[in-house]
Structure 1
């Protein structure tokens, strides 16, 4: 069952021998043995340990590489990109998830120590909602040529999973508490609006290389220009009820047009579509301002949790988090066979982006309207914790990397 391979593979400073090849899974499924003779690595997509892989000297199955053998090879040679990502995917995920926990944590600590006074959360959230977040959304859209990254099948799969999860979240909120439309909309937003910009794009680039930025960027645009704007409109419809149908429509339209988030999305889309060149100093200023959105929003979540906690929103937090990290990727997987090939980068990225935890922007909007604030903050925290397991499982299931 085994072929001896006479040639070596140069991975940098040292030579690594491709010492075994699995005929059962094809010629590409090689096993790398370091010069110390102790470490075996499986390449590409052969996940199960193949019974045909044997240690030629002992006849025993070549066991899966663990921490010790990874350390051994890491000392011997620079790992190839395939092996590096498969061995370190959990490390990559923790690298982008840890700052989320840390920022919420120091916000909570600052709140417990009363360092920012009683109105710290309101002031910080106001800064994010009126200045930092619009700048971030504008630059994200203005820098992208929509025509270059647009993939219709990806839009249907990822956008469809996001919209269906949003609707499911609204229905769940209605069934659980008989909530008003604003509460239902923000529940749906918390269950469907993923942290693509902060976590998704780095993961996609790590998994698929530089071209992975394309589906990650498109997913971020769909979230900001699509579900976030739609959710805001429904919240305003509920807020303006009681003013008569015609008056309410006018109030909703004015409120939506005055929203800095909607304005930023509209201006960014216009700049992208018309290919307007933004002066470099202006873009640098907006980049600097927008870079404060995510850390300040996460810090504000910690401040809020230190004072209010989750209150009675525990059940809603659990259901919304379940929708975000489980239901949405399952919907994406169900839609995938109809529009995309699971074996392609775009297909895998659609499922990966669908499984990301809730974005901090959901809390910013909830706090602005003082609706579902405990639920949004708790969902961001719980879904981020859960995503370490669920996204890691997806990386293995989809054989990404």
Structure 2
């Protein structure tokens, strides 16, 4: 069991660690360029490649989307009540309590824990989370809502194309499918490197409050995940993916939004840092829960491509 857990955690820690060391040594890393490359090209290609290549029941993808909506709704409701109870403003902290790092950290963990079928299911959760993060999350942080953000999100268009191809039984031309696969393959390593760089560059403040809110974020995520899988009667890979994705630490995008709208960015940076460190410490327990006490057969022969 220890070896199985280590084989999942080690690649995430090592690649993020490389990014962290890279940044601390002062070597060039254009974070904005990498973020734009991943968001606008890498992730859409990963979504298109995995959802058109991996055989999955559309009902399973729909169930994952429903689980994501229910989980995010639980975190939003419980997070609002908690912040109101301690008289903290919603705009700086609520997005961080709702949206976990389902992309940079969640997708690699699901890939290494359950292989490509797990990655495909995790992508469904990631897409729902990204859509709400870039609409509702931005609205909470800025005080303004814009539905146009959906039309400017490339992953939405990649999802539409993937669903059309699956519904019609059509395939991408071989040259295009190979191109999309190569571009999608760069995404997870880039996201992990960017996570490590971001953690090295954060300037956290108010670590006492950040630690308390980070613990609350993880409690909401773990509790919401267990509640959702119980309500929906989920088991197997689907159950494990929901538990992993819901338990992720504060998403780095929440810090970027807090910085853009001047919503206590140092404290949000502290939440990103503290919740990520807490999650790394708790990963063995999380994987044990996600696997139902035993790793799936064939673990270790996992490929991102």
Q: TM-score if structure 2 supplies the norm length? A: 0.74
Alpha-carbon spacing, 1:238–1:171, altered in 2? closer, same or farther (3 Å)? closer
Aligned partner of 2:131 among 215, 229, 238:
229
**What are the Cα deviations for residues 295-318 of structure 1, in whole angstroms up to 9, with x where unaligned?**
212212221222225433333322
Alpha-carbon spacing, 1:239–1:333, altered in 2? closer, same or farther (3 Å)? closer
Residue of structure 2 equivalent to 1:356:
244
Give structure 2 stretches of 5+ with no counterpart: 260-264, 298-305
Kindly indicate whether residue 51 of structure 2 is the aligned counterpart of residue 141 of structure 1. yes
More helix by share: 2
Runs ≥4 in structure 1, deviation > 6 angstroms? 191-194, 398-401
Kindly indicate whether residue 279 of structure 2 is the aligned counterpart of residue 386 of structure 1. no
Displacement after TM superposition at 1:360 (Å): 9.0
Kindly indicate whether residue 118 of structure 2 is the aligned counterpart of residue 219 of structure 1. no
Kindly indicate whether residue 209 of structure 2 is the aligned counterpart of residue 321 of structure 1. no
The structure, 1 or 2, with the larger RCO (C-alpha pairs under 8 Å, 6+ apart) is 2
Alpha-carbon spacing, 1:351–1:221, altered in 2? closer, same or farther (3 Å)? same
Query: How many residues are aligned here?
Result: 284
Aligned partner of 1:128 among 38, 47, 60:
38
Q: Distance in 2 between matches of 1:266 and 1:369?
A: 30
Give structure 1 stretches of 5+ with no counterpart: 1-88, 206-212, 243-247, 341-345
Q: Which has the larger radius of gyration?
A: 1
Residue of structure 1 equivalent to 2:300:
none
Q: TM-score if structure 1 supplies the norm length? A: 0.59
More strand by share: 1
RMSD: 3.7
Check the 8 A contact 1:111/1:303 in 2, yes or no: yes
Q: Distance in 2 between matches of 1:163 and 1:142?
A: 26
Check the 8 A contact 1:161/1:332 in 2, yes or no: yes
